[in-house]
Structure 1
Amino acid sequence: MTENYYLGLDLSTQQLKCTLINEQHDIVLEEAINFDKDLPEFGTVHGAIIDDNVVTSPTLMWVKALDLLLRRLKNSSYIGSIRGISGAGQQHGSVYWNKDGIEHLKHLDPTKELYEQLDDAFSIKQSPIWQDASTTQECRALEQSVGGPEALAKLTGSKAYERFTGNQIAKIHHHNKKAYDETARINLVSSLLATLLLGLFGPMDSAEGSGTNMMNINTHQWDRKLLEQCGGNSLYEKLNKEPVEGGTLLGNISHYYVERYGFHPDCHIMPFTGDNSATLVSMNLSEGDCVVSLGTSDTVLVYLKKDAAEPTTESHLMAHPTDPEGFMGMLCYKNGSLAREFIRDSYANGSWDEFNEYLNKKEAMQQGDIGFYYWMQEIIPFAKGIYRFEQGEAVKEFKDKAVNVKAIVESQFMSMCVRLQRMGGDSMKRVLASGGAAANANILQLLSNILGLPVYRQKGMNGASLGGALLAKFGTVNTSFEEMMAQYPSAGLELICSPDLEKTKQYASYKQQFSNLEKEIVQNKE
């Protein structure tokens, strides 16, 4: 083949996905490895091992998933024409290499699979992931070290969050000192993929660095005082390299993959980013656009220029994956699709058709019913449990149990609406929906009504892996990302629904009551 192709990988919570594009950004191949289904020997549920607030994934499972995915790709006619690889990983998760593991990487045997050769490569076998909520003590200590949560947000873009990598490292440093001392290098989930493909330790990109609570959001460099607080004086060496900007050439693919799978020796490896950042890339956001990703977690992303970016203690300000002068504002909710599925199974007989039927009934809030569904420990606000109110009074269960279906979706989107306004969301012009639940037009209509904005969906895409493929190409061209996308615009957006502005006004009238009840829940927990 004479045409060049670009591969994007996405190591998400439940799957390792890939998207292959050509020079014109057309998708020519997609593939996925489902961890629970394809790698059952690791015993994960939805890709994770959950023990109360401690949530991990087997590091070797991710390595074996890459083996399996590349085995499938080997049979395609494209593999020798792939000129660049980049991608994404679930944000914040961390990987701990021992010294022998880093050495094994340099001498991979192409007759053997990766997981066979890296079985003993990790000082910690179970990687902490974004769902973990066991580091509250470390969070408070990190904030105190710089003068409080507001000061930390100003410095790093976010106050301390339990899932952020620095706090996860601090927990291991303090409570698993032996494993920490045996750790030679620390990757994120995203930079793990770059490391495996390079055959040597690869750095994270600056967008991922801003999900650690350790990188200065303005300089894109590690803050030495924060590193010392999180991991002592050896952490800088374990991280090994400063964050790099998106599109930086890290090197060529390891000869192992050339020999074993047939990759071209000049296939370039670019930095991998976070799944949310890659989703933003795939949609080529402009000012006024807001991405709402409805997946295992729900996230809200907005593209902010430097003069409009203001860190807060309930949102995240992150480095932009393709614009060193720009920022990505983000809200992240742990209770996304899994919480909706829990309510579907509990109140709609496990049927999405029945769930949608209840969604289309009279608004729960209009009846005076407001519910908060923190099935897992929530991030915004920091709360856990299910709370229901009828006419402002707490109740154990709604009189009509089916009301829970409407109430969970309303409360999820009302929280987004309230916080978007605080981030400057009054200037938003449209919503770009992504993630698994974006396939449900009934859910998107409710989102449109609450935000008062039209909702679009990009046709046929896995957002994060497509974003990775575009980042792979970006690293091989000598133009800006905007110029690259202007030359070959993506497949386009499809308008799914427009808001019923009368309902938008009604929801706006409930915002204060919603905020007051949410505040009451948090205060009672404290």
Structure 2
Amino acid sequence: MSTTHLYLGIDCGTQGTKALILDSESGQVLGLGSAPHTLIQGAQGRREQDPGQWLDALQHATRQALTQAGISGQQIQGIGVSAQQHGLVLLDSQGDVLRPAKLWCDTESTGENNQLLEWLGGETGSLERLGLVIAPGYTVSKLLWTKHHHPQILARTAHILLPHDYLNFWLTGRCCSEYGDASGTGYFNVRTRQWDRELLHHIDPDGHLEQALPELIEPRQPIGRIRPLIAQLLGLNPDAVVSSGGGDNMMAAIGTGNIEPGIITMSLGSSGTVYAFDPQPQARPEASVASFCSSTGGWLPLICTLNLTNVTGAVRELFGLSLEGFNQMARQAPAGAEGVSLLPFLNGERVPALPDATGNFQGLTLTNMTQANLCRAAIEGTTYGLRYGLDLLRRNGLQSHVIRLVGGGSKSPLWRQLVADIMATPVVCPEQSEAAALGAAIQAAWCVAADSPTLADLCRRCVRLDPAGETRPEADNVRAYEHFYQRYRLQVAALTE
């Protein structure tokens, strides 16, 4: 084991924080740690979190990862931070958090998003101005919501940060943001890679918000060294360098080696994401495609579905099944679930764009209404949404030679086969399921020294694919699922009418 190539990757998600120790010379992951978060939930779609929990979880997960790796924190050369996108963290002039962070899944500011979208000139105006269409989860509507509901807090705001920016601020004392995570704010132009100050001026004509923006930095620019007090608290090397870091999707792209055209990363988590690297910004992006910047110097067109393992989990709990019991039940049903289909829009939906939709089973008869068919229809229905998103990316010219599958659902052989068959594309799983934490550690290695290997070299060394998880599409299934997918498209079209 090298003692001069050890890096710490942090991933602060909705449910918890993960920490990972990487030896960038051997490409081995030496240790993992984790700690949970809790949500503050309320009416009208409120989903918030106390950033203090993130700091506590980061400390716990880091100590756990170091212990599992069997190394001293004094050997860590660099730190990379990944975090959930879109969250709004407001700090006062002393650097203290002013209120709980509104998260990506918070929909309380949907009305404010609609007001801003109207001001921008609708979807067309938003695309022309920003390069993407703002959505309720984006940060910008949370700012307008804060102005409407907590004007006194907005008046005291000295720094507007995203979750990963806040963790970097805690580590280094600097307020910075990089292009990938900044893309999801809704007040950032993804083509010019600059803040849209006029949009913020519209929200706050006094110019207060513009002055609270963090400094924008390039993906390979480090933020700086860890603060001595924090190094002591975490037991880390006081000379450790903190990289630019990024949003969880951007870091997971690095952690799956998705840094060149032809690779699709697909995540089967509570929500579903599909994204691919593009060396150029999308010339004519679809309204449902978020044409974010990558954290590697390019772009990362992305779609997000709001309904995935949260839906299969709900069906599993309805029947009182264990995870293995649910999978066994779904395997008993044939492809197409004997005509049963589920439109799985339990949370509304972002892709397809059906924010007010609800879920419903269709095609039920006295003979096909079985637990097996309902379980299989839940997996198939959520996967059709990802196919819908993949088709949008393909329509924008992105190639998909292979899908790199991550997230909890990727551990199911049945789901892996369904993805391969429905997408008509080979599927492979990385060995390391914590793709965002791994990507953050790889990015830290890339940032630390000018003479370090290229990012492509680091990804080749550190991103390892699991041959046991390789799944190829089966021709008969591909033909069958094309028919069932078109049925799904007709059902979605009926909702939009």
**Normalised by the size of structure 1, how large is the TM-score?**
0.86
Aligned length: 485
* Compared CA separation, residues 410 and 143, structure 1 to 2 (3 A): same
Distance in structure 2 (CA, Å) of the matches to 1:378 and 1:308:
23
Say if 1:166 and 1:212, in contact at 8 Å, map to a contact too: yes
2:83 is aligned with what amino acid? G
Q: Which runs of no fewer than 5 residues in structure 1 stay unpaired? A: 36-43, 103-120
Query: Offset of 1:350 from its aligned partner?
Result: 2.4
Q: Which secondary structure does the structure 2 equivalent of 1:305 belong to?
A: coil
Say if 2:8 and 2:22, in contact at 8 Å, map to a contact too: yes
* Compared CA separation, residues 245 and 309, structure 1 to 2 (3 A): farther
1:122 is aligned with what amino acid? V
Which range moved further: 134-143 or 355-364?
355-364
Distance in structure 2 (CA, Å) of the matches to 1:193 and 1:376:
29
Query: Offset of 1:139 from its aligned partner?
Result: 1.6
Query: Offset of 1:27 from its aligned partner?
Result: 0.8
Residue number in structure 2 paired with 1:111: none
Distance in structure 2 (CA, Å) of the matches to 1:504 and 1:183:
54
Which structure 2 residues correspond to residues 200-215 of structure 1 after superposition, within 5 A?
A: 200-215=173-188
Residue number in structure 2 paired with 1:368: 339
Residue number in structure 1 paired with 2:293: 319
Which range moved further: 429-438 or 363-372?
363-372
Say if 1:56 and 1:128, in contact at 8 Å, map to a contact too: yes
Distance in structure 2 (CA, Å) of the matches to 1:332 and 1:183:
30
Say if 1:376 and 1:385, in contact at 8 Å, map to a contact too: yes
Residue number in structure 1 paired with 2:31: 29
Q: Which secondary structure does the structure 2 equivalent of 1:9 belong to?
A: strand
Say if 2:139 and 2:185, in contact at 8 Å, map to a contact too: yes
Residue number in structure 1 paired with 2:378: 408
Query: Offset of 1:480 from its aligned partner?
Result: 7.0
Say if 1:87 and 1:467, in contact at 8 Å, map to a contact too: no
Residue number in structure 2 paired with 1:61: 53
1:506 to 480, 485, 492: 480
2:329 to 355, 358, 371: 358
* Compared CA separation, residues 216 and 307, structure 1 to 2 (3 A): closer
2:115 is aligned with what amino acid? A
2:51 is aligned with what amino acid? T
Residue number in structure 1 paired with 2:97: 122
Which range moved further: 135-144 or 475-484?
475-484
2:228 is aligned with what amino acid? H
2:405 is aligned with what amino acid? A
Distance in structure 2 (CA, Å) of the matches to 1:383 and 1:404:
23
Q: Which secondary structure does the structure 2 equivalent of 1:162 belong to?
A: coil
Is residue 15 of structure 1 aligned with residue 16 of structure 2? Answer: yes
Provide, for residues 33-56 of structure 1, a one-character-per-residue CA deviation record: whole Å limited to 9, x for no partner: 123xxxxxxxx3xx4535341111
Provide, for residues 163-203 of structure 1, a one-character-per-residue CA deviation record: whole Å limited to 9, x for no partner: 101111111112211111122212111111101100x2321
Q: Which secondary structure does the structure 2 equivalent of 1:304 belong to?
A: coil
Q: Which runs of no fewer than 5 residues in structure 2 stay unpaired? A: none
Query: Offset of 1:355 from its aligned partner?
Result: 1.4
Query: Offset of 1:58 from its aligned partner?
Result: 1.8
Residue number in structure 2 paired with 1:258: 231
Say if 1:432 and 1:458, in contact at 8 Å, map to a contact too: yes
Distance in structure 2 (CA, Å) of the matches to 1:384 and 1:77:
51
Residue number in structure 1 paired with 2:86: 92
Residue number in structure 1 paired with 2:120: 146
Provide, for residues 68-87 of structure 1, a one-character-per-residue CA deviation record: whole Å limited to 9, x for no partner: 33454676533111111112
Distance in structure 1 (CA, Å) of the matches to 2:3 and 2:193:
38
* Compared CA separation, residues 401 and 263, structure 1 to 2 (3 A): closer
Q: Which secondary structure does the structure 2 equivalent of 1:399 belong to?
A: coil
2:342 is aligned with what amino acid? G
Residue number in structure 2 paired with 1:289: 263
Say if 1:364 and 1:403, in contact at 8 Å, map to a contact too: no
Say if 2:383 and 2:419, in contact at 8 Å, map to a contact too: yes
Identity of aligned pairs, percent? 20
Residue number in structure 2 paired with 1:249: 222
Query: Offset of 1:8 from its aligned partner?
Result: 0.6
* Compared CA separation, residues 357 and 318, structure 1 to 2 (3 A): same
Is residue 383 of structure 1 aligned with residue 356 of structure 2? Answer: yes
2:73 to 79, 98, 102: 79
* Compared CA separation, residues 72 and 498, structure 1 to 2 (3 A): closer
2:213 to 239, 242, 248: 239
Distance in structure 2 (CA, Å) of the matches to 1:489 and 1:161:
34
Query: Offset of 1:363 from its aligned partner?
Result: 4.1
2:36 is aligned with what amino acid? N
* Compared CA separation, residues 18 and 230, structure 1 to 2 (3 A): farther
Cα-Cα RMSD: 2.4
Say if 2:33 and 2:62, in contact at 8 Å, map to a contact too: no
Query: Offset of 1:249 from its aligned partner?
Result: 1.5
Say if 1:166 and 1:230, in contact at 8 Å, map to a contact too: no
Query: Offset of 1:431 from its aligned partner?
Result: 0.9
Residue number in structure 2 paired with 1:399: 369
Distance in structure 1 (CA, Å) of the matches to 2:144 and 2:442:
34
* Compared CA separation, residues 240 and 291, structure 1 to 2 (3 A): closer
Query: Offset of 1:211 from its aligned partner?
Result: 0.5
1:176 is aligned with what amino acid? H
Query: Offset of 1:274 from its aligned partner?
Result: 0.8
Provide, for residues 97-120 of structure 1, a one-character-per-residue CA deviation record: whole Å limited to 9, x for no partner: 1223x2xxxxxxxxxxxxxxxxxx
Say if 1:299 and 1:332, in contact at 8 Å, map to a contact too: yes
* Compared CA separation, residues 480 and 397, structure 1 to 2 (3 A): farther
Query: Offset of 1:147 from its aligned partner?
Result: 1.7
Is residue 6 of structure 1 aligned with residue 3 of structure 2? Answer: no
Which range moved further: 150-159 or 166-175?
150-159
1:470 to 442, 454, 457: 442
Distance in structure 2 (CA, Å) of the matches to 1:398 and 1:192:
51
* Compared CA separation, residues 175 and 333, structure 1 to 2 (3 A): same
Which range moved further: 171-180 or 134-143?
134-143
* Compared CA separation, residues 48 and 439, structure 1 to 2 (3 A): farther
Residue number in structure 2 paired with 1:180: 154
* Compared CA separation, residues 255 and 384, structure 1 to 2 (3 A): same
Provide, for residues 90-139 of structure 1, a one-character-per-residue CA deviation record: whole Å limited to 9, x for no partner: 11111111223x2xxxxxxxxxxxxxxxxxx2211x21111111222222
* Compared CA separation, residues 352 and 74, structure 1 to 2 (3 A): closer
Distance in structure 2 (CA, Å) of the matches to 1:464 and 1:229:
35
Say if 2:428 and 2:465, in contact at 8 Å, map to a contact too: no
Query: Offset of 1:59 from its aligned partner?
Result: 2.1
Query: Offset of 1:32 from its aligned partner?
Result: 0.7
**Normalised by the size of structure 2, how large is the TM-score?**
0.91
Q: Which secondary structure does the structure 2 equivalent of 1:329 belong to?
A: strand
